[in-house]
Amino acid sequence: MWIEDYSPDIDSSEWVSNSSETAKDSSEKYKESSKKAQAKVSKTRKDEKKAKKYDFLLAGFLVKIIVDKKYDSILDTLFPSIHEWYPSNFILWILSLINTDISDKIRGVSNKWLIKFDYNINNITQEFNDSKIDPEIKSRINYWVEDITDSVTLEYSSIQTQKLKELLIKDENILLIYTSKVFSFFLKELNINITKSKSNNISNFILSEVKKSIDKLKIQNI
């Protein structure tokens, strides 16, 4: 604004009145902005609290898994997933297929009933046949797929889910390899062999279902 813009025709009383109304409007806008900012901070804290809950769980179970030598073959695929910052709850749910303690703990956190898996392991090594899966094994796998999906849809963290969504788009098979290795490990513990290609195909299907579930979510912008 320049001095040339000044007009002596403007009534000073009118200017005072307008200034008062402007100040009142500014005050109302400030209050509204302040409420929105406080609400955003509150949402962020709640969201971070959900995320940290699973971070602590994963940290605790990692110690146990690293110490137990039988999980060595999983670690080379588990650590890259953690390194890429995949959400802790998602990494845990995938791992839950091969560790009952993890399954029980995180299902307990989600207030879900615990899974009972009573499969009698055959002494003779079998080949995995997806058209002839033992009902007990099929049921356990189905619960696993359901759990993985629930991990990103039930009581989910918007921050973590948005991060997962972004990672799944740019992923270079890191998560697929991890999921496939866990699935193969599960079957091997039951004395069942599965080819790498078939394990990859099944794991790819599971992750595609997870992507569909995420796409249906209304993720809040925080």
For residue range 145-194, list pLDDT tens digits in order.
888 887 777 666 777 777 788 888 887 789 999 999 999 999 999 999 99
pLDDT surpasses 50 at 124: yes
* Reported confidence tier of residue 113, pLDDT bands at 50, 70, 90: confident
129 vs 5: which has the higher pLDDT: 129
Residue 4 lies in a domain: no
* Dihedrals phi, psi of 2, to nearest 5 degrees: -115, 160
Rounded to the nearest 10 degrees, how much is the dihedral formed by the CA atoms of 176, 91, 64, 72?
A: 10
Residue 93: what residue type?
A: W
pLDDT surpasses 90 at 13: no
Residue 7 lies in a domain: no
Residue 13 lies in a domain: no
Residue 114 lies in a domain: yes
Residue 181 lies in a domain: yes
pLDDT at 167: 82
Please report which residue ranges of 2-134 form alpha helices under DSSP H: 12-67, 72-83, 88-95, 100-109
Q: What percent of the chain has pLDDT over 70?
A: 73
CA dihedral sign of residues 175, 176, 178, 182: positive
Asked if 184 and 194 touch (Cβ cutoff 8 Å), the reply is yes
| Length of the chain in terms of residues written | 222
For residue 146, what is the enclosing H or E element? helix 135-151
pLDDT surpasses 60 at 40: no
Helix, strand, or coil (residue 127): strand
Residue 10 lies in a domain: no
* Reported confidence tier of residue 22, pLDDT bands at 50, 70, 90: low
pLDDT at 158: 74
86 vs 48: which has the higher pLDDT: 86
Residue 18 lies in a domain: no
Average pLDDT, the chain: 78
pLDDT surpasses 80 at 85: yes
Structure tokens at 105: 């703990």
> In 3D, which of 55, 121, 40 has the Cα closest to residue 87?
55
Domain that holds residue 140: 32-216
Residue 221 lies in a domain: no
Q: What global pTM score does this model have?
A: 0.73
Q: How many domains does the chain have?
A: 1
